[in-house]
Amino acid sequence: MSSVFKPTAVTIGIALAVLAQHASAQFYALIDLGSLVPNSYSVPHSLNENADVVGYSYAGTGAHAFAWTAAGGMFDLGTLGGNTSYAYGINDQQQVVGYGLQGSSEQAFIWSAATGMQLLGTLGGATSNAREINNAGQVAGYSQISTGKSRAYRWTAETGMQNLGTLGTASSNSYATGINDSGQVAGFSNIGPYTHAFRWDSAQGMQDLGTLDGGKSYGKAISNNGSVVGYATAGGVEHAFLWTPATGMLDLGTLGGSNSYAKGVNDSGSVVGQSDTATTAQGFVWSQAEGMRNLNELLPDAYGWTVEAALGINERGVITALGRDTAGRTHALLLAPLLDEQPVAEEPPAE
């Protein structure tokens, strides 16, 4: 008899339903999203306001992009004709972006249930990659140009790919990793011998967000109010940061180890990512009020999973995360906020 908890659409719905009444939750229900092939791996990347999750999972011949919904579970988004595809962003209309192999070349795609995978093209080079999509259907990513250098882009259905330039010179590279509903883009670019995080918008162009110690910084996600998170060098190590126009770049610290990396942020200023502890890397959630918290300490019952990294957080505080179980499997997880008071853990139902 197994004691592994396998939540149903009903139990998932119950866990998500409490969000409307408990916005400031501190503890989470853990939901294993499974994998495309039994006893295989899955890796999440992003989620939308409905808590639909995208990422990739082994599908028999290689990694395939997936989407997961509470009603339908995990399903394969297919490929561009090659063996592999990877999903990185999803909006509230369930449009998904990522990249797949076409021949030996990485190509950015946009997917919807109506159209399947469609190519986004390139900026004149051989490869492209899509990283995030907003609710207007605008996409952020990066593409090679004719010289082989990489350029951050913003794509729309009307205009195609727009080259966003760099912080440096023509020989520099730039990479877009996030986009908000206003069309502002976050990412990072070479500038001289360094790499700096940037925020781009159509009015001001590419803005250098600076660093923590004069070294390197990397922007990874952007909220609808224009806050950017990522990580930067900090005295020989790397620390997660939160950048706002009012405060500049704020060091978020660590969970007691050397390094930390911010991966996602919502409009309330909650940040998620991964941090070293004294012994291992684990997922965190950070807020201005409570600082950095280890997500593994906020799970009344983890059902044998350890949260190794948190990748995204939506406006309801739902988190998508990467976990490892006692058998060594890595799966995409969903962490749904519970009551402010820590609930008493119940025994999982037997299979």
pLDDT(182) > 70: yes
Other residues' Cβ atoms within 10 Å of the Cβ of residue 89: 26
265 found inside a domain: yes
Residue 200 in domain: yes
- Mean pLDDT across 140-161: 98
Query: Which domain does 106 fall in, by range?
Result: 9-337
- pTM equals 0.90
CATH number of the domain where residue 158 is located: 2.120.10.30
Q: Phi and psi for 329 in degrees, rounded to 5?
A: -75, 145
Q: What confidence category does residue 26 fall into, taking pLDDT thresholds of 50, 70 and 90?
A: confident
Mean pLDDT of 122-146: 98
What total of structural domains would you count in the chain? 1
Is residue 314 domain-resident? yes
How far is 193 from 238, CA to CA, in rounded Å? 17
Q: Is the pLDDT of residue 13 over 90?
A: no
Q: Could you tell me if residue 228 is inside a domain?
A: yes
Q: Do the domain assignments include residue 204?
A: yes
CA angle 164/169/172 to nearest 5° reads 75
Buried b (16+ CB within 10 A) or exposed e, 10-42: eebeebbeebeebeebbbbbbbbbbbbeeebbb
206/122 Cα distance (integer angstroms): 20
- For residue 250, tell me if it sits in a domain: yes
Query: Checking phi first, is residue 332 left (phi over 0); if not, alpha (psi -120 to 50) or beta?
Result: beta
- Which residues, including other chains, have CB under 8 Å from residue 172's CB and lie 6 or more apart? 149, 166, 189, 190, 191
State the Cα–Cα distance between residues 105 and 107, nearest whole angstrom: 6
Q: What is the pLDDT of residues 240-260, one digit of tens each?
A: 999 999 999 999 999 999 999
Average pLDDT score over the chain: 92
Determine the residue type at 30: L
Residue at 296: amino acid letter: N
Q: Is 96 helix (H, G, I), strand (E, B) or coil?
A: strand
Model pLDDT, residue 339: 64
pLDDT of residue 6: 45
* pLDDT of 343 strictly over 90: no
307, amino acid identity: V
Q: Is residue 166 part of a domain?
A: yes
Q: Residue 349 falls within a domain, yes or no?
A: no
- Does the structure show a pLDDT above 50 at 10? no
